[in-house]
Amino acid sequence: MNILKTRFLESACIFVFLLAGIFIISSCSTSTNLVSDGKSNYKIFVSESAGLPEKNAALELQKYLEKVSGCKLEITNKTGGDNKLVHIGFSEAPESILKDLDTKAFGNEEFIIRSDGKTLLIAGGNTRGTMYGVNSYLADYLGCRWYTREVEKIPAQPTIKLAKIEDRQKPAFEYRQPYYHEASDTTWALHNRLNISNMPVSLGGGYVIFPFVHTFNQLVPPTKYFKSHPEYFAEVNGKRAISQLCLTNPDVVKVSVATVFDWIKTHPDANVFSIDQNDFAGFCTCANCKELDEKEGSHSGTLLHFVNQIADTVAKAYPNVQLQTLAYDYTEIPPKTLRPADNVMIRLCHYAYCSAHPLGKCDDHKQYVERLEQWKKISKRITIWDYYTQFNKYLMPYPNLETVKHDVKFYADRGVVGLFAQGNNVPDDGRGEFTELRAWVFSQLMWNPEQDGQKLVDEFVQNVYGDASGYISEYIKLLHDQVKPDSINFSIWTEPEDVSYLGIKTIQKSDSLFSLAKNVAKNDSALLKRVERAYLPIVFIKLYLHTIGGDDYISEGKLAETLNDYKRIIADNRITRTAEGAEPGNISKFIEAVETAEHYVKDWWIIGPFDNEERKGFATVYEPEKEFDTTKTYSGKNGAKVNWKKYPGEAIGFVNFAKSFAVKKNVVSYAFRNMHLTEAKTMRFGVGSNDGVRVWINGKLELDRPVLRKAVPNDDVISVPMKKGNNTILVKVDQLGNKWGFYFTEKK
Ligand SMILES: [Zn+2]
Ligand SMILES: [Zn+2]
């Protein structure tokens, strides 16, 4: 039946040939296939006058069509004859395919893939449109994928059908940068349609922001001006300081205008020039700045007042130049009456809010979302700087994929024009948890946020982890399930000891999932390496928790093996930095901390809280300093009845008062325990506290530190003569704000 049908079609072709000549038979004999069984009579046309990006786009298409079909199509710059052509770029494309297209109207990243079943046109605006068109054709029509620098998927298709296509696309955001190591690779970024700043001109260039961020010191260099003109700089606590600028000083505007004009002249490639505050506090509090900020209800008042003046001058000389400034930290609140000038873009930063839940899905984002809406009302254009990595510890398991999956669309729906998704890109390689996955999902969503984020995650996991993907998916789900409730939240700065999702059971379950995954991957060294990299955060966190007394996180006798795993995976992946702004050598310091981890003293009784208004409680002798009696009840803060209770065993060595007591402000609490020794000896104890601490051993005050600090094990070390038999240890810690508790180690 099939054979008969084919023969009938062939004879129909010949019939057409006899009637209408060569042109018709030509289209008929190849039917609608671009490539048939690895052979093609198509050529790739690109005009001789085309720019380098289009010529490279033609090469890119040639390379991947050959990978897909086994057929290398010739590239030509000649039209006419009986050539069947794939047209790359609008130049010299026949009217029959261009038809109604206004080719000049295409934006610089916009393209069309058009096929009438005979001719294929892939063309777009200068400079990157055509290149993106080619990559989109390969991805959307031939199923090609570039998941990581090592893993690409190129489905083999000896026959490629040329169906009718009418597909015009442009990205949802004009600026798209997931800040992960993967995405700084220009080949990878191009395939995934990102416009990172280091994209070479030959590939269409990238989106350049100059200077990139926190630019006050470049605008008015303190090295040049601070000595002669301290009044250009911020007044902080009554003194001029090198922190921020004095934004209401007209001379600062003059100097800044000159600098910006110089930037514009020397950086003609830049899309945007950035005028923004330095990355610390210290805004100006001089009379003028203070008055304006108070009037505007925000420090964005003086900032916009300043930037707008520069923008007005720039607009007269360079009407097409865009400036931008930050709405970040102390400038996040929009001003009451001022409005950004038309040529000033606002770069709003979602700094240190909840990372567990997508925007709009939990209360923690409420204030930020309101501010975004307010900024939107008063600004023509907004870009976003958002944070999708763990700043303290890049390698800490970080279940924030819900934000990755949903936030891009949230921003697109609100008309945001650019998104910088801060990951952990560092000069060499600071890969955190699933950085390649995050980079890939972001790149897809930044182009088209209507895609289903979970499907993208699943696709990546299946293709990158192959036979081990089931276990990896289960691991991802295991962590994310725990942070679903609204009540659970963590930010980019939250420490492992303060999150709820790193309990021993979770870590053990993760360990067994990865051991199954590694087993499946054991005969494929490349896959095994990828699985091990996915496993690294679990290895890291076990070791880290071990350094703070989490003895049960590593099974008996497995410490050396776990540490060796860590060292090997770090070296294999050339990971050189593991935290934002970490000093070089922090990896070796961490290894040393694991190797020299102390024994943490646990099993405490605790009592509190007692009053500590004006920090008077630190020196007040409350009843627990006089006696340890678990049967007695005392009067605590605000007259509440308090008594000694057993501190519930924690997996780590931190005695967390903040978790134990309802009242957590301006208070002080105690911990007590006995220590039995079979012989008298001098012992050394390490103490770390948040905040001030006193330690009595056998009733004698051995440590008195009225400090305000973050608890770090062994900040203080005391040497104490201990008795044979029973010894008493009493610890008192006061609380001024935030975290509250202490570490107590028995030094080796
Ligand atoms: Zn000032
Ligand atoms: Zn939340």
Tell whether pTM > 0.85. yes
Residue 695 lies in a domain: yes
Residue 116 pLDDT exceeds 50: yes
Higher pLDDT, 15 or 518: 518
* Beta bridge pairs of residue 233: 245
Give whole-number Cα distances, 650 to 373, 497, 502, 676, in Å.
Answer: 43, 10, 12, 21
For the beta sheet containing 693-697, the strands, ordered from the edge strand earlier in sequence to the opposite edge, are: 645-646, 605-611, 667-677, 725-735, 693-697, 700-705
Distance (Å, rounded) from C-alpha 148 to C-alpha 150?
5
Contact 255, 228 (CB under 8 A): no
Last residue of a domain, one of 568, 597, 626: 597
Amino acid sitting at position 20:
A
The DSSP call for residue 617 is: G
Residue 12 reports pLDDT greater than 70: no
Contact by Cβ (8 Å): 301, 332 = no
How many Å lie between the centroid of ligand 2 and the Cα of residue 328? 20
**What spacing in Å lies between the alpha carbon of 705 and ligand 1's midpoint?**
38
Does position 21 have pLDDT exceeding 80, yes or no? no
Structure tokens at 265: 């002249």
How many angstroms is it from 304 CA to the middle of ligand 1? 13
CATH of the domain at 617: 2.60.120
Residue 536's H or E segment, with its range, is helix 525-547
Contact yes or no for 687/718 (Cβ under 8 A): yes
> Would you say residue 429 has pLDDT above 90?
no
Q: Is the domain of 255 the same as that of 389? A: no
With a cut of 50, say whether residue 469 has pLDDT above it.
yes
If you measure from the C-alpha of residue 243 to the centroid of ligand 1, how many angstroms do you get, rounded to a whole number? 12
Instruction: Let me know if residue 194 belongs to a domain.
Output: no
- Ligand 2 centroid to Cα of residue 489, in Å, is 5
Distance CA 479, CA 515 (A): 17
Q: How confident is the model at residue 583 (pLDDT cuts 50, 70, 90)?
A: confident
Task: Give the helix/strand (H/E) hosting 670.
Answer: strand 667-677
Residue 179 has pLDDT above 70, yes or no: yes
Tens of pLDDT, residues 336-345: 999 999 999 9
DSSP-assigned states of every residue in 424-436: ---SS----TTHH
On whether both 371 and 475 belong to a single domain, the answer is yes
3-state secondary structure of 706: coil
Whether the CB-CB separation of 490 and 393 falls below 8 Å is answered with: no
Amino acid 578: pLDDT: 85
Query: Do 445 and 585 fall into the same domain?
Result: yes
Of residues 593 and 738, the one with the higher pLDDT is 593
Residues 304 and 403 occupy one common structural domain: no
Confidence of residue 724 (pLDDT cuts 50, 70, 90): very high
* CATH code of the domain in which 36 resides: 3.30.379.10
* pLDDT given for residue 428 in this prediction: 64
**Which ligand is closest in space to the CA of residue 250?**
1
> CB within 8 A of 515, min separation 6: which ones?
none
Note whether 349 and 382 are within 8 A (CB): no
User: What is the percent of the chain where pLDDT is above 70?
Assistant: 95
Local confidence band at 627 (pLDDT 50, 70, 90 cut-offs) = very high
Query: Are residues 307 and 270 both part of a single domain?
Result: yes
Give the span between the Cα atoms of 109 and 447, in whole angstroms: 10
End of a domain among 597, 619, 635? Answer: 597
The domain that holds 295 is classified in CATH as: 3.20.20.80
CA distance 464 to 529: 11
Query: Would you call the peptide bond into 609 cis, given omega within 30 degrees of 0 as the criterion?
Result: yes
Shared-domain flag, residues 225 and 250: yes
Q: What is the DSSP letter of 39?
A: B
Please tell me the predicted confidence (pLDDT) of residue 23: 34
Same domain, 587 and 705: no
Where is average pLDDT lowest: 76-85, 234-243, 260-269, 602-611? 76-85
pLDDT digits (tens, 9 = 90+) for 127-160: 999 999 999 999 999 999 999 999 999 999 999 9
Q: At residue 456, what is the residue type?
A: L
Q: Is the pLDDT of residue 105 over 50?
A: yes
**pLDDT recorded at residue 19:** 34
Q: State whether 690 and 742 are in the same domain.
A: yes
Tell me: do 320 and 448 sit in the same domain.
no
Whether 375 maps to a domain, the answer reads yes
Compute, in angstroms, the gap from residue 317 CA to the centroid of ligand 1: 28
Q: Which residue has the higher pLDDT, 578 or 206?
A: 206
If you measure from the C-alpha of residue 330 to the centroid of ligand 1, how many angstroms do you get, rounded to a whole number?
Answer: 15
179 found inside a domain: no
Is 619 within the bounds of a domain? Answer: yes
The whole-number pLDDT of residue 32 equals 85
Write down the pLDDT at residue 427: 63
Strand duo 641-643 + 667-677: pairing: unpaired
What DSSP letter does each residue of 546-584 carry, written as one string? Answer: HHTT-GGGS-TT-HHHHHHHHHHHHHHTT----STTPPT
Give the pLDDT band (50/70/90) at residue 9.
very low
- Look at residue 356 and tell me whether its pLDDT is greater than 90: yes
Domain boundary among 112, 143, 169: 169
Tokens 């995050």 locate to 438
Reported as a pLDDT band with limits 50, 70 and 90, residue 650 is confident
Total of domains in the chain: 4
Ligand nearest to the CA of residue 251, numbered in listed order: 1
DSSP symbols for 265-302: HH-TT-SEEE----SS-----SHHHHHHHHHHTSTHHH
Q: Mean of the per-residue pLDDT values for the chain?
A: 93
In this prediction, residue 156 carries a pLDDT of: 98
Q: What is the DSSP letter of 93?
A: -
Q: What spacing in Å lies between the alpha carbon of 484 and ligand 2's midpoint?
A: 8
Distance 327 CA to ligand 2 centre (A): 21
In a domain? residue 175: no
pLDDT beyond 70 at 211: yes
Lowest mean pLDDT among 11-20, 639-648, 670-679: 11-20
Range 205-224 average pLDDT: 97
Tell me which of 303-307, 487-491, 574-578, 701-705 is least confident: 574-578
Alpha-carbon distances, residue 189 vs 128, 139, 435 (angstroms) = 12, 14, 14
Structural domain harbouring 239? 208-351
User: Is residue 44 scored above 60 in pLDDT?
Assistant: yes
Distance, in Å, from the CA atom of 379 to the CA atom of 335, rounded to the nearest integer, reads 11
pLDDT at 22: 32
Tell me, what's the pLDDT at 651?
Answer: 83
Do 445 and 591 belong to one domain? yes
Cβ-count burial of 319 within 10 angstroms (0-12 exposed, 13-18 middle, 19+ buried)?
exposed
Ligand nearest to the Cα of 365, by number: 2
- 332 Cα: distance to centroid of ligand 1 (angstroms): 19
Query: Which ligand has the shortest distance to the CA of 355?
Result: 2
For residue 6, tell me if it sits in a domain: no
Res 579: pLDDT: 84
Q: Which two tokens stand for residue 366?
A: 């409420």
Q: Tell me, yes or no, whether 485 lies in a domain.
A: yes
The residue among 72 and 748 whose pLDDT is bigger is 72
Amino acid 18: pLDDT: 34
Give yes or no: residues 591 and 607 share one domain: no
Say if residue 98 is in the same domain as residue 140.
yes
